[in-house]
Amino acid sequence: MDLIQKVKNKERLNQKEGKALYDLDLYTLGELADSIRKEKYGKKSYFNINRHINPTNVCADICKFCAYSASRKNPNQYTMSHEQILDIVKHSYANGAKEVHIVSAHNPNDGPEWYMGAFRKIKTLYPDLHIKAMTAAEVDFLTRQYGLSYDEVLDMMIESGVDSMPGGGAEIFDEKVREYLCKGKVTSDQWLQIHQKWHERGRQSNATMLFGHVETKAHRIDHMLRLRDLQDKTGGFNAFIPLVYQRDNNFLKVTHFPTGQEILKTYAIARILLDNIPHIKAYWASASINLALIAQEFGCDDLDGTIEKESIQSAAGAASSHGMKLEDFIGLIKNSGFIPVERDSLYNELKSYA
């Protein structure tokens, strides 16, 4: 059957068919993805008022694509105290933040209590604030460093007030690519296992894919299909977030970067393939706000949030270090022809700016 007709008939595509989507012209692919998006959400574009906190950049693992870790090209090491973290949370909460997104490097000097103690203190002071924290890579690091099991770390997270997990650490699931990018870090199977265990506890998470470096288009499709398979089992993923590789200050010798068209095609293909993951996020901190706004026409229904401060993507060249003002964010979405809808971390609608 014709590939386009299969998509229109909502038939699932396999690896070969998924890769073949890249051969379609941009506008055809965009129309297919946009029709799926419109059926699900109309002209709504979701965002939240959030604050990213990166409490330490000291890392035991070595990832070639990372510009944030102090163990490589960044000599400026730091680790926040709980008091410093709480000061940030206090300021952000006063500014209307509904979520704190807490992701760290893998600091061998800070044990589980440093993480869990911070979460407990935040939840005690701000019980209605959603804590999204601890990537699967961080969970795996704590198990390796301190002789814990995945179940023990995940249970500790829930007991300490973590509400949902971010999708970081997925990178690319292909094992050979992963060995080159981030040998020693959580494996693809372990990443999927950790998220499955989290979902089995009745909790939700996101999933990411870092693309635009040394991977092939086939690797991207394989990555998406592995997520689709797990989502069939658990239903626990809220959103898929294709992260555009940032090229500055790291050890990957990449010379050919994806064009804007290829990035948009990747968003569209994600919307087509991932029929069971509700939301496709154009994370503006990695894609740029301009491309993220265009991505709304290519299947993306979520732009993340105001962020307020961001350290990981910006360390590698992204223009996201100071986040974005709420009124600017709303205005940009409106001017692009969509309806800004503020959501909470689990995609309950809070306020429409129609």
The tens digit of pLDDT for each residue in 297-332 reads 999 999 988 766 544 443 444 343 456 888 888 999
Residue 253 confidence (pLDDT): 66
Give yes or no for a contact between 197 and 160, defined as CB atoms under 8 angstroms apart: no
Token representation of residue 38: 């419109």
Pairing of β 279-280 and β 237-244: parallel
Token representation of residue 278: 């509700």
Give yes or no for a contact between 311 and 68, defined as CB atoms under 8 angstroms apart: yes
Structurally, at CATH architecture level, domain 12-352 sits in: Alpha-Beta Barrel (3.20)
Per-residue pLDDT band at 74 (split at 50, 70, 90): low
Average the pLDDT over 7-17 and give the result. Answer: 97
- CA–CA gap between residue 294 and residue 301 (Å, rounded): 11
- Where along the chain do its domains lie? 12-352
Does 270 have pLDDT greater than 60? yes
The segment with the largest mean pLDDT, out of 39-53, 209-223, 265-279, is 265-279
Torsion, CA 110, CA 116, CA 120, CA 121, rounded to 10: 10
Give yes or no for a contact between 77 and 58, defined as CB atoms under 8 angstroms apart: yes
- CA–CA gap between residue 195 and residue 144 (Å, rounded): 17
- Residues 6 or more apart in contact with residue 49 via CB below 8 angstroms: 95, 96, 97, 98, 99, 305, 306, 326, 342
Phi–psi pair at 113, nearest 5 degrees? -65, -30
Average the pLDDT over 100-107 and give the result. Answer: 82
Does 150 have pLDDT greater than 50? yes
Q: What pLDDT digit, counting tens, does each position of 163-205 carry?
A: 999 998 888 999 998 887 777 789 999 999 999 999 999 999 9
Does 16 have pLDDT greater than 70? yes
Task: Tell me what the pLDDT averaged over the chain comes to.
Answer: 88
Residue 169 confidence (pLDDT): 87
Question: What's the half-sphere exposure (Cβ side, CA atoms, 13 Å) at 66?
Answer: 26
Residue 221 confidence (pLDDT): 98
